[in-house]
């Protein structure tokens, strides 16, 4: 089946944002008189944003009384520092350049709110280069619900079956499957702490970005 549109998750797939996310969490811990956590403990949870960082840093989950205030503080701190260390993953530029050369559109579908996603994508040269950018507040639902992916396909004017979604979390695979897209796991990303990528039901698990071009028969 040919692929007319390649959609990517943002954090952990296109962009390594974990250092700034972890930095905001440890900044909050320092303000509370707590020792910083090792980056290795925080990185796997970076794909879950504030929920993931606060869960590790403070042991709180959404719905708990103090979660909302901690989340707002985290967002404030993260917004101030989110571009300090964020960078495109090694190998991503070659993939996007190849897609552009072959006039094959690509886009971004992320659970990150547009308040953060759009300036990050713009600062890192991904937007408005991408054909579409759907954030966590672009539809009433976030992944693993298929709505954000279906919205991306709709905006580009393509059927979901013509799209592939590349992400570094099991929920990305679930969202893509539910949308009727092919799904590819980015094993260079954050991956979470659950089942390993080969158990996510992906069409392919890639060790590094360049392998996507081979899978798409572009290299």
**Cα-based distances in Å from 174 to 91, 124, 141, 185:** 25, 27, 14, 11
Taking the CA atoms of 133, 2, 143 and 81 in sequence, report the sign of the dihedral they define: negative
C-alpha R_g of the chain: 17
**Rounded distance between C-alpha atoms, residue 43 and residue 199, angstroms:** 20
**Cα-based distances in Å from 41 to 2, 36, 54, 98, 192:** 39, 11, 12, 35, 11
Is residue 73 among the annotated active site residues? no
For residue 125, give the 3-state DSSP assignment: coil
- Say which of 9, 168, 169, 172 is annotated catalytic: 9
For residue 134, give the 3-state DSSP assignment: strand
Of residues 160, 101, 102, 96, the one with CA closest to residue 130:
96
**Rounded distance between C-alpha atoms, residue 98 and residue 105, angstroms:** 11
Number of C-beta neighbours around residue 114 at 10 A: 15
Neighbour-count burial for 34-65, b at 16+ CB within 10 Å, e otherwise: eeeeeeeebbbbbbbbbbbbbbbbbebeeeee
Q: Please identify every residue annotated as catalytic.
A: 9
């Amino acid at each position: 089946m040919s692929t007319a549109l390649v959609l990517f998750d943002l954090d952990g797939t296109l962009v390594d944002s974990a250092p700034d996310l972890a930095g905001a969490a440890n900044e909050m811990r320092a303000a509370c008189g707590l020792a910083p956590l090792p980056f290795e403990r925080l990185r796997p949870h970076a794909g879950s944003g504030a929920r993931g960082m606060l869960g590790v840093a403070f042991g709180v989950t959404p719905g708990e009384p103090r979660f909302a205030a901690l989340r707002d503080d985290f967002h404030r701190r993260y917004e101030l520092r989110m571009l300090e260390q964020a960078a495109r993953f090694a190998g991503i530029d070659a993939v996007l350049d190849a897609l552009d050369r072959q006039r094959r559109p690509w886009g971004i579908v992320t659970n990150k709110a547009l308040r953060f996603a759009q300036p990050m994508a713009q600062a890192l040269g991904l937007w408005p280069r991408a054909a579409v950018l759907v954030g966590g507040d672009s539809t009433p639902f976030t992944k693993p619900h298929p709505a954000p992916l279906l919205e991306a396909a709709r905006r580009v004017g393509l059927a979901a079956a013509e799209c592939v979604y590349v992400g570094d979390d099991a929920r990305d695979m679930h969202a893509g499957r539910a949308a009727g897209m092919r799904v590819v796991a980015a094993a260079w990303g954050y991956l979470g702490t659950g089942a390993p990528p080969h158990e996510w039901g992906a069409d392919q698990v890639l060790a590094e970005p360049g392998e996507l071009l081979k899978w798409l028969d572009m290299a």
